[in-house]
Amino acid sequence: MRRVKAGVLRKFTASVFEAAGTPEDIAETVSNMLVKANLCGVDSHGVIRITEYIGEMDRGQYKVKERPKIIKEKGGIGIVDGRWGFGQITGIMAMELAMKKAKTHGIGAVIAKRTNHIGRVADYTELAIKNKMIGFGLTNGGVAVAPWQGKDGLLGTNPISYGIPAWRGDPIVMDYATSVSSYGKIDIYRSKGKELPNGWVQDKEGNPSNDPGFFSKGGTILTFGGYKGYGLNLVVESLGGALLGEGVSDEFVGQNGTYMQAIDVEHFIPFAKFGKDIDKLVTKMRKSRPAPGYTEVLVPGDPERRAFAERSKAGIELNDAIWEMTMKTAKRFGVEEPETV
């Protein structure tokens, strides 16, 4: 295990992407977002992705110099073409366009096609929060998840995120896979050689499994909350696949089929009134009594905020497997190992 300060890790990450031909501003944005994921405790979406992205460049999936373009803008909606550049840049453009639409029309919705991995969906709904808007985002991709009661891998882990802005207190930031676990989280278990918790995955025959290597053996991830998460998963296939014209299920031809939506609160109610109610909601939850076996009640976004505060001070831990994989990648581009603490 190594520990690296966020600033150092950011510089390191940007250097690798730049050395691989990425324009400086893009490398910086992507690096900020990956390291932010680590800071937030979401290691599955952190610098573990450097090697994956570089691999995608090797096989021509990433066009590192490409920038997204708005190809349609009408009323409250928009369409962005990601042009297979970094998905993060496309995601930002999509949410910014959705917010622009919301500013004028009260609500805006933007889809982004030909989009590579966008990272944490919360990064975009947090953009909406910063602008006093309610953000919603989702992204489709992969076939690691089985439909409810099924055993075939036909669906993506298909995350969704809601961002609800508050007045003076912390906002509500919900962000999760509609499967029990994201694929990235499972990867973390695999990289540590740890068994998966019960109820996450099944083997290729549809029997319960704890094997972190289930996927290469034909296994599948379950949807969260049974048929309820399954329903939401299909919504992501629809809004992040069919609506884009990139297909659905195992015929989806995109990487991260993305839908971003913003609601401008002020069109409905003065923001102060709304925000104060959200402050109240958050406070009520946190001050409520925990059930037996728990010591506190949280709101969505609290675990990430805590990790962020702690890791901003102490640095980011990277386990040996991730460290070695990443340094091997960096070495290819002549980028030196980051300083550890």
Nearest to 114 by CA among 142, 91, 145, 148: 91
Q: How far apart are CA 285 and CA 296, in angstroms?
A: 9
Residue whose CB is less far from its own copies, 32 or 283: 283
* Minimum distance from residue 42 beta carbon to its own copies (Å): 14
Q: Which is nearer to its own copies, 53 or 274 (CB)?
A: 274
* DSSP 8-state assignment for residue 198: T
Q: State which residue, 284 or 328, has the beta carbon closest to its own copies.
A: 284
Between 4 and 248, CB nearer to its own copies: 248
| Concatenated DSSP letters of 209-255 | E--TTTGGGT-EEPBTTTHHHHHHHHHHHHHTTGGGTS-SGGG---S
CB of 1 to its own copies, least distance (A): 27
118 vs 234, beta carbon nearer its own copies: 234
Helix (H, G, I), strand (E, B) or coil at 18: helix
Q: What is the nearest approach in angstroms of its own copies to the Cβ of residue 81? A: 13
Q: Which residue has the tokens 């409810």?
A: 148
Q: How far is the CB of 168 from its own copies (least distance, A)?
A: 15
To the nearest whole angstrom, how small is the minimum distance from the Cβ of residue 14 to its own copies? 32
For the bound state, the minimum distance from the C-beta of residue 143 to its own copies, rounded and expressed in Å, comes to: 11
Pairing status of strand 257-264 against strand 107-113: antiparallel
Euclidean distance between CA atoms 46 and 57, whole angstroms: 18
Closer CB to its own copies, 8 or 143, in the complex: 143
Scored b (16 or more CB within 10 A) or e, 249-263 reads beebebbbbbbbbbb
Assigned token pair, 332: 């290819």
The CA distance from 1 to 320, in Å, is 5
> Between 37 and 102, whose beta carbon lies closer to its own copies?
102
Provide, rounded to whole angstroms, the least separation between the CB of residue 214 and its own copies. 14
Residue 182: both structure tokens together: 């994201």
Least Å from the CB of residue 324 to its own copies: 33
Q: Show Cβ contacts of residue 289 under 8 Å, excluding neighbours closer than 6 positions.
A: 297
Of 163 and 315, which CB lies nearer to its own copies in the complex structure?
163
**How far apart, in whole angstroms, are the C-alpha atoms of residue 82 and residue 78?**
13
